[in-house]
Amino acid sequence: MDRLTGLSAFVRTAELGSFAAAGRVLGLSPSAVGKAVSRLESQLSVQLIQRTTRSLRLTEEGRDFHERCRRILDDLDDAQESLLRTREAPRGPLRLSCPIIAYHLLLPILPAFMERYPEITLDLDFTDRIVDLIEEGVDVAIRSGQLPDSRLMVRTLRPFRLLLMATPAYLARHGTPRCPRDLANHCSIGFRYPNSGKIQTWPLRRPEGEPEPRLRYVLTCNNMEALRGAVLRDLGIGCMPDFLAEAPVLAGDLVPVLLDHLDAPSQFNLIWPSSRHLSPKVRVLVDFLAERLFLSTPCLSHPQGQTGPGAKF
């Protein structure tokens, strides 16, 4: 503890420029601070601070030592803060931003969260727009794709698959595509990203050197629910997440196509603003969602070449 006192006295003196100022912060007299720093120098056999009648100045060794000591004391403060926060009951408003289609995943599990943490008030923001968490006061977000912002913490969730879907009635009229090239003769429903305006690229695997299949879009939209609705109305083939297609496939209303030619699973991430002290309400929500989301992710199993109604989740 004597060494810790010396480290604290040294760091505060280096930051505030005098024993008196450091003493006011630490609740010690200036002479007690000076003696603590002197004892530390004696233990290290190194002079850390040059003293004159007018000022104090760090030596070269003192500057290097100060940086390391400051990090040690910050980590100690973090550990103490985390311990204190574990005693707090998670409470207060908590804003969660999610893609619109995420309500299929969230609504079934939220009652258990609200029962477990009754003092947390959830504010759900369903949007396909990329939200600036820090600027817009969002506590946690569910997002896919690249996350370049270094101010964010990330926790990955289990992956899902993007699938090509059509109705049995559409396939009866237009035929079932057997390879990506066949899509040129079909009607395509495209998803347009709300932020960039770009149309989603379908995750088709093709032989090396073969050009990307040319798709004939008869309809595009910036809402995945609307895309599924258009596909269900026999308008064409659309690309959607497996969890969004699960219920219609089980009901026989949608059929997966080109399963053997699809690649690149996708993944959602939980993201939240980086902070030295993670609040209890954010911590419990992140842990809960990481544990519960995609717990029963649809798994499309199929014999080789099976793309009809017999293909099962």
Within-domain flag for 101: yes
Domain of 27: which CATH number? 1.10.10.10
Task: Supply the Cα-derived Rg of the chain in whole angstroms.
Answer: 29
On the question of pLDDT at 143 being above 70, the answer is yes
Q: Is residue 108 part of a domain?
A: yes
Output 170 or 283, whichever has higher pLDDT.
Answer: 170
State the Cα–Cα distance between residues 195 and 128, nearest whole angstrom.
8
pLDDT(149) > 70: no
Average of pLDDT values for 55-60? 90
Query: Which tens digit of pLDDT belongs to each residue from 39-50?
Result: 999 999 999 999
Do residue 258 and residue 202 come from a single domain?
yes
Residues 254 and 178 in one domain: yes
The reply to whether 118 and 211 lie within a common domain is no
Q: How far apart are CA 12 and CA 284, in angstroms?
A: 35
Domain count, the chain: 3
171 and 23 belong to one structural domain: no
Same domain for 286 and 236: no
- Domain assignment present for residue 33? The answer is yes
Rank 165-179, 205-219, 262-276 by mean pLDDT and report only the highest.
165-179
Q: Are 279 and 202 found together in one domain?
A: no
pLDDT of residue 39: 92
| pLDDT tens profile 197-224 | 889 999 898 777 777 888 999 999 998 9
Alpha helix positions (H), 120-261: 133-136, 168-174, 224-232, 242-250
Pair 262, 286 in one domain: no
In a domain, residue 193? The reply is yes
Instruction: Report the C-alpha gap between 130 and 196 in whole angstroms.
Output: 10
Q: Which DSSP letter does residue 182 get?
A: G
Token pair, residue 47, equals: 């002079």
Determine the 3-state secondary structure of 110 from DSSP: helix
Do the domain assignments include residue 313?
no
| 10 and 74 fall within a common domain | yes
Range of the domain at 114: 92-156+267-292
CATH classification of the domain holding 183: 3.40.190.10
Residue 147 vs residues 132, 139, 205, 272: alpha-carbon distances, Å: 11, 16, 25, 11
The reported pLDDT for the residue numbered 277 is 64
**Mean pLDDT, rounded, for 72-80:** 80
Same domain for 255 and 106, yes or no, is no
On whether both 168 and 255 belong to a single domain, the answer is: yes
pLDDT for the residue 80: 75
> Is the Cβ–Cβ distance between 298 and 313 less than 8 Å?
yes
- What is the pTM for the complete model shown? 0.60
* Count of CA atoms in the C-beta half-sphere (13 A) of 221: 15
Domain assignment present for 181: yes
